[in-house]
Amino acid sequence: MLYAFELSGEHPTIPRSEVLACLSLENLDYEQTHCFDQCLLVDIRGNSDTIEAALVSVSGRLAMSHHILKVIGICANDVNEIIKMAAEADIHQHISSDMTYAVRARKIRTHARLHGEYLEKKVGGTIYRKGYRANLKKPDVMFRLLISNKCIFGSVVASIDRSAYEKRAPHKKPFFYPGVLMPRTARALINISGILPGKNILDPFCGTGGILVEAAMIKSHVIGMDAQSKIISGARMNLDYYSLDHSLMTGDATRIPLADECMDAIVTDPPYGRSALIHARSLNNLYSESMKEMYRILRPGSLAVIVSEKQIDEHSIKAGFKICEKHNQYVHRSLTRTILVLEK
């Protein structure tokens, strides 16, 4: 069956990778069919009830998506084509006779010449004429028109609570330090790492613990390390604020005090300034030696997701990693971060 993921658009490539990683974590048999502007279409094979239960679970992890739709139809982003598609659509698998409905349209960026409210009324009318009752305030089923390069028409299977991430913004935590990853980005990278609940994930440059908070929220066993004891104290304060289990230590990322192949994933955002040089002789040495340590403690086949403003491809390859994905994240005029997804 065909499902559509309504991507957030806050990054050109990370939202898609996050979705695909989460589908794999649920062991779904899927194939990507199309990726439009802020819309990923995926064909998922299997029992629809089982699939949709898994998609609800996926929605609880996702950060860079809005909704998951069960696709009814796809057509050109033309008013007449959209209304015709809705009128001819068989929607009995999406709504039963005793259920109410509402229709919402979302126009994406350059595809905004169409009038969303007009389409909502027209498409809603076609559903009404099929014998169903509308309820605009509390519908049993929400139909959605996603107007991208094409128009995707579907019913909402699950929605992502993005407001929860806003509540965990860095400045709203007890201990704040500027320049850290925003919670949605941190969660997306954790999802891309493939970590499962109960498995070990390490951030060897944990700072105030933003990555650890998001990993602990999905019940992973989080381990954090930082060179500065006062920062570790701040990270502990933040994790305790959300009543999350954690293991924290002050230490040197070029000599991580953990056994070989004991970590199931690593996600980290190494520091870029002088504070990083408490133990390392230079930033170059810090990256080179810490990469070797991360490779050593990671289990074979597992992933490390590294954020850096430096080019660290060579360090990664020399440490033994295979580069699986590379994402660029524009921060401001003088800073573009590179995010590498590395496999041992």
Percent of the chain with pLDDT over 70: 96
Domain co-membership, 239 together with 170: yes
261: exposed, middle or buried (C-beta count within 10 Å: 0-12, 13-18, 19+)?
middle
pLDDT digits (tens, 9 = 90+) for 219-266: 999 999 999 999 999 999 999 999 999 999 999 999 999 999 999 999
Same domain, 152 and 33: yes
Residue 336 is predicted with a pLDDT of 81
Both 179 and 102 in a single domain?
no
pLDDT tens per residue across span 57-107 = 999 999 999 999 999 999 998 999 999 999 999 999 999 999 999 999 999
> How far is residue 95's CA from residue 106's CA, in Å, rounded to a whole number?
21
In angstroms, rounded to a whole number, what is the distance separating the alpha carbons of residues 140 and 282?
59
Q: State the pLDDT confidence band at 268, using cuts at 50, 70 and 90.
A: very high
Tokens of 218: 């999905």
Q: How many domains is the chain partitioned into structurally?
A: 2
Residue with tokens 């990054």: 11
What is the reported pLDDT for 332? 74
Comparing 27-41, 106-120, 190-204, 289-303, which segment has the lowest mean pLDDT? 106-120
For the segment 298-326, what is each residue's pLDDT rounded down to a tens digit? 999 999 999 998 889 999 999 999 999 99
Q: Cα-flanking dihedrals φ and ψ of residue 213, to 5°?
A: -60, -50
- Give the residue among 168, 159, 154 at the shortest CA–CA distance from 70: 154
How is residue 295 written in tokens? 């490779």
Residue 273 pLDDT class (50, 70, 90 cuts): low
pLDDT at 283: 79
Q: For residues 103-113, give the mean pLDDT.
A: 80
Question: How do residues 10-38 score in pLDDT, each as one tens digit?
Answer: 999 999 999 999 999 999 999 999 998 89
Boundary-marking domain end, from 159, 185, 218:
159
CATH number of the domain residue 38 falls in? 3.30.2130.30
Which one-letter DSSP state was computed for residue 97? T
Residue 25, φ and ψ in degrees, nearest 5: -60, -30
What whole-number distance in Å separates Cα of residue 66 and Cα of residue 9? 10
pLDDT of res. 295: 98
Q: Which helix (H) or strand (E) holds 189?
A: helix 183-193
pLDDT-derived band at 272 (thresholds 50, 70, 90) equals low
Residues 203 and 104 in one domain: no
Q: Are residues 146 and 249 part of one domain? A: no
Same domain? 138 vs 215: no
* Same domain flag for 201 and 330: yes
Host domain of residue 121: 2-159
Whether 112 and 206 map to the same domain: the answer is no
Q: Which pLDDT does position 285 carry in this prediction?
A: 86
SS (H, E, C) 23-74: HHHCCCEEEEEEEECCEEEEEEECCHHHHHHHHHHHHHHCCCEEEEEEEEEE
Instruction: For residues 104-111, give the mean pLDDT.
Output: 82
Query: Based on the domain organization, do 105 and 181 belong to the same domain?
Result: no
For residues 219 and 242, is the Cβ–Cβ distance under 8 A? no
For residue 61, which of 170, 169, 193, 180 has the smallest C-alpha distance? Answer: 193
Q: Can you give the CATH number for the domain in which 265 is found?
A: 3.40.50.150
Let me know whether 135 and 223 are in one domain.
no
For residue range 115-138, list pLDDT tens digits in order. Answer: 889 999 999 999 999 999 999 999
* Contact by Cβ (8 Å): 216, 305: no
Residues 121 and 14 in one domain: yes
Please list, in sequence order, all residues whose beta carbon lies within 8 angstroms of the beta carbon of residue 147, skipping any fewer than 6 positions away: 77, 82, 105, 106, 107, 108, 111, 112, 114, 116, 119
Residues 32 and 91 in one domain: yes
Residue where a domain terminates, one of 140, 159, 178:
159
Instruction: Please check the confidence at residue 274 and state whether its pLDDT lies above 50.
Output: no
Taking the model in full, what pTM does it have? 0.94
Strand order in 100-107's β-sheet?
Answer: 29-36, 39-45, 2-7, 65-76, 150-159, 141-147, 100-107, 133-134
Distance CA 104, CA 335 (A): 37
Last residue of a domain, one of 123, 140, 159: 159
Q: Is it the case that residue 275 has pLDDT exceeding 60?
A: no
User: For the chain, how big is the Rg over CA atoms in Å?
Assistant: 22
